[in-house]
Chains A and B, each alone.
Chain A
Amino acid sequence: MMKLWRMFETLVTMVMMAAVIGASPAVAQANLEINTPGVAALQASMQKRHGELAPLYASGAVGLTRDGNVALRDPAAVPLAQRATANGLVAAENQDRAALYREIARANNHPEWEGDIRNTFAQRWIDRAQSGWYYQSAAGAWVRK
């Protein structure tokens, strides 16, 4: 009888410990951590670049892809002399975006969330894009918003 009671005690202790371990990260999940120097630096870099990218979004030369990147969808919309610059802007933006998704996942101690974060951003970039900008549908076709 005494042995059985001790086993019961052990089980209760284990359940309580598991509950404590399980509950604390769940509380922390109310918000995602984005206040890190890494995120701030990438945000500033992208904000600065947006001044140059905005006219390209408006002309339809650059569009928002379904995977959370940007792409030069219509090179003909950019004068030949500026095409290399546009390509460079797109490449630099995609590099920052990849780093941003990775950094947010890492800052929240879940590197495996990178893909989910990318998908979330992909949807929100498109939802919040200005009308007239191009985005890629789920099927991969370019659509003018």
Chain B
Amino acid sequence: MNGKSMRRAAFVLLSACFIGAGCVTINIYFPAAAAEKAADRIIDEVWQLKGGATVPAVKPETK
């Protein structure tokens, strides 16, 4: 194996690593909207709000 093909192999391997890392990064994002929906469904049950006057999801003013 000469130096040129070694370098090419290293380049391919590195590219694959970066692409792989990029995809993994997407997975660890916390799904905030889905979590809010799940929270609302549980709060509906715990506080028995179903059918009654429900407060629409509003953008939190504090955070």
Contact (A127, B34) CB under 8 Å given A15-B19, A21-B23, A121-B39: no
Residue of A11, A15, A18, A113 ringed by the most chain B CB atoms within 10 A = A18
Residue from the list A10, A21, A120 in contact with B36, Cβ < 8 A: A120
Is the CB of A59 closer than 8 A to any CB of chain B?
A: no
Residue from the list A7, A19, A21, A124 in contact with B9, Cβ < 8 A: A7
Residue from the list B5, B8, B29, B32 in contact with A120, Cβ < 8 A: B32
Chain B min CB distance to A69 (Å): 14
Q: Are B48 and A47 in contact (CB under 8 A)?
A: yes
Q: Are B42 and A34 in contact (CB under 8 A)?
A: yes
B 9-28 binary contact with A (CB < 8 Å = 1; else 0) = 10010011001101110111
CB neighbors of A among B18-56 (8 A) = 19-20, 22-24, 26-32, 34-43, 45-49, 54-55
Do most interface residues of chain A lie in helix, strand or loop, or is the interface mixed? Answer: helix
Do most interface residues of chain B lie in helix, strand or loop, or is the interface mixed? Answer: helix
Residues of the B chain whose Cβ atoms lie less than 8 Å from the Cβ of A100: 42
Residues of the A chain whose Cβ atoms lie less than 8 Å from the Cβ of B46: 43, 46-47, 50
Alpha-carbon distance between A30 and B38 when the two chains are bound, in angstroms? 11
Q: Are A124 and B39 in contact (CB under 8 A)?
A: yes
Alpha-carbon distance between A22 and B20 when the two chains are bound, in angstroms? 8
Residues of the A chain whose Cβ atoms lie less than 8 Å from the Cβ of B60: 123, 127
Q: Are A127 and B57 in contact (CB under 8 A)?
A: yes
Alpha-carbon distance between A25 and B34 when the two chains are bound, in angstroms? 13
Contact (A120, B35) CB under 8 Å given A47-B48, A128-B40, A128-B49: yes
Contact (A34, B43) CB under 8 Å given A50-B48, A116-B35: no
21 A-B pairs whose Cβ atoms sit less than 8 Å apart in the complex: A3-B5, A7-B8, A7-B9, A7-B12, A11-B16, A18-B19, A18-B23, A26-B26, A29-B34, A31-B37, A32-B31, A32-B38, A39-B42, A47-B48, A120-B35, A121-B39, A123-B60, A124-B40, A128-B54, A128-B55, A138-B62
